[in-house]
With several copies, the nearest count.
Chain A
Amino acid sequence: MPDSKAKLSKSTVPDKELVSGVMLQQVLPFALLRGEAIVEKPQDLFIPPDALEVILEMFEGPLDLLLYLIRKQKFDILDLPISPITTQYMTYVDLMKDIKLELAAEYLVMASILAEIKSRLLLPKQAVEEDEGDPRAELVRKLQEYEIIKKAAENIDELPRLDRDSFVAKVELAENFVPEILNSQVDLAELVSALQGVIKRTQAYEHHHIQKESLSTRERMAHILTTLKDAGIEQPYCDFSDLFTVKEGKQGVVVTFLAILELIKESLIECVQTQIYGEIRVCLPRQA
């Protein structure tokens, strides 16, 4: 049905159809349907229900509907003519009900607010208490506040945005790209439990001497070997005395000495003395 394609087309409403007076808006075109103005007198004019639904659903709420009515008729918002606005508002609310539009409670609350303002305005001026201002003031404030936000939302919608007005550049990585591999974490406890696992598995207990005390000797053995290796080809030896650090005290000397003895025993180093009472030199064994 082409009727359902009705569009709200505020800007194209011909000016002559707008009555600029305040109280006489009987013919209010608020939309064009296939080129014809739709006016808000449903009893006089057939409005296809589909089209009406589209139009009514466009309102974001009672404030939006009120703003629309005010703007369309160029009412002065600061001097709001409550009576015609209330009438028109109620017409729309009735329409919404008629076409079974899910009518939010907010619309009915607004209707009662309008009715209340209207009744207060109808009271003789003297009856209004001194300190009570214009009963429309609060409504006007809300309408203005809402209109500012309505406009702000429209502005935001028009801002250049990604994927509509601007697009982010994206570039592939080279074929040879390999992500960094994070090393696995190891806990000291895991290391200990691994070793204890080995020990438990071992049938013979010949490695019982693995204990804390021997470690310093073992470490010193590794240290001496490293020193000798680092001594290089030019001078593949080290003076015996250089292996000892006086700072370490007696215990350090003992550990170093034990380490040297153990290394000699395991044929990992050799000690040479080129002359009697000469310096003892420690070196790696000559290659066979």
Chain B
Amino acid sequence: MVKLAEMITDKIRHKDIDDTKLQRLVEAALFIADKPLSVQLLKRDFLIEYRVSNLRIRDIIIDIQAQYKGRGVELNKVASGYRFQTPAELSDDLAHLYKEKAPKYSRAILETLALIAYKQPITRGEIEDIRGVAVSSQIIKTLTDRSWIKTIGHKEVPGRPVLYASTPEFLDYFSLTTLDQLPALMPIEDFTS
């Protein structure tokens, strides 16, 4: 069987190919294949008609790699072969194209934000006192990353805890000019009763 396959391949693999054409074909193949291509795969699937050595294909790939240095795509070697990829440096700029929705904020995050907005300046301990549960660092980080809260100093009590306040970005997001415009809480009698 192997013998026969070899014979057939030898028979098919008869055309000569110059470097320019070889490079065009290898490049095209790498761009249209839906998986990385090894030298063997390139030879079997795209260069079947041509008499060309593995070494020559490898040399051509090295040439192509050099030619794409610093461009918008680069030719990388991965486990199963070669493939064109966008350079790592461009990932941040390309990130805009693929957007993922962050999960909705938890009740803990919203309560913490509300307390900071209405009771600022406030320490983490005070928030925990009111909420009756610990405020995780993740919650503070989420709100800080979002630029909705900031630290504005330390409270001069033992431990000098950090004081949190809301930011102008917080007001912007909710289309407010001042904190006065935050909705009034339910009338006092509603929760004194």
Partner of A205, one of B86, B153, B157, B192: B192
Q: Which residues of A contact B (CB under 8 A)?
A: 20, 60-64, 70-71, 74-78, 104, 106, 110, 142, 144-157, 159-184, 186, 188-192, 194-202, 205, 207-208, 210-212, 215-216, 218-219, 221-222, 225-226, 228-229, 266-268, 284-285, 287-288
Q: How large is the interface on B (under 10, 10 to 19, 20 to 34, 35 or more residues)?
A: 35 or more
- Interface stretch among B8-16, B18-26, B55-63, B179-187? B179-187
B155 touches A160 (CB 8 A): no
A268 touches B156 (CB 8 A): yes
B132 touches A156 (CB 8 A): no
CB neighbours (8 Å) of A170 from chain B are: 31-32, 34
Separation of A45 and B94 alpha carbons in the complex (Å) = 45
Separation of A104 and B113 alpha carbons in the complex (Å) = 22
B192 touches A149 (CB 8 A): no
Separation of A200 and B107 alpha carbons in the complex (Å) = 14
CB neighbours (8 Å) of B28 from chain A are: 167, 171
Tell me the minimal C-beta distance from A115 to chain B in angstroms: 17
B178 touches A219 (CB 8 A): yes
B179 touches A165 (CB 8 A): no
9 contacts between A and B (CB under 8 A): A70-B191, A156-B114, A162-B175, A169-B31, A170-B32, A183-B146, A196-B191, A215-B118, A226-B165
CB neighbours (8 Å) of B130 from chain A are: 142, 145-146, 149, 198, 202, 207
Separation of A63 and B175 alpha carbons in the complex (Å) = 31
Separation of A76 and B188 alpha carbons in the complex (Å) = 13
- With most chain B CB atoms within 10 A of its CB, the pick from A183, A267, A288 is A183
- With most chain B CB atoms within 10 A of its CB, the pick from A64, A148, A167, A184 is A167
- Chain B stretch 75-105: residues in CB contact (< 8 A) with chain A: 83-88, 90-91, 94-105
CB neighbours (8 Å) of B193 from chain A are: 20, 74
Partner of A201, one of B94, B132, B183: B132
Q: Which residues of B contact A (CB under 8 A)?
A: 28, 31-32, 34, 73, 83-88, 90-91, 94-105, 107-108, 110-111, 113-115, 117-121, 130-134, 146, 152-153, 155-157, 160, 163, 165-166, 172-176, 178-180, 182-186, 188, 190-193
Separation of A182 and B102 alpha carbons in the complex (Å) = 6
Please name the residue on chain B nearest to A65 by beta carbon. Answer: B132
Known: A194-B111, A198-B131, A212-B180. A174 touches B91 (CB 8 A): yes
Known: A146-B132, A169-B86. A200 touches B155 (CB 8 A): no
B191 touches A71 (CB 8 A): yes
Known: A186-B105, A222-B165. A198 touches B114 (CB 8 A): yes
CB neighbours (8 Å) of A218 from chain B are: 118-121, 179
B153 touches A268 (CB 8 A): yes
Known: A61-B132, A219-B178. A268 touches B163 (CB 8 A): yes
Partner of A225, one of B88, B119, B163: B163
Partner of B186, one of A104, A152, A207, A287: A152
CB neighbours (8 Å) of A20 from chain B are: 193
Known: A152-B114, A156-B114, A178-B91. A184 touches B104 (CB 8 A): yes
CB neighbours (8 Å) of A192 from chain B are: 114, 182-183, 185
CB neighbours (8 Å) of B95 from chain A are: 164-165, 177-180
CB neighbours (8 Å) of A199 from chain B are: 185, 191
Partner of B99, one of A63, A154, A180, A211: A180
Tell me the minimal C-beta distance from B182 to chain A in angstroms: 6
CB neighbours (8 Å) of A142 from chain B are: 130, 132
Separation of A250 and B70 alpha carbons in the complex (Å) = 63
A146 touches B131 (CB 8 A): yes
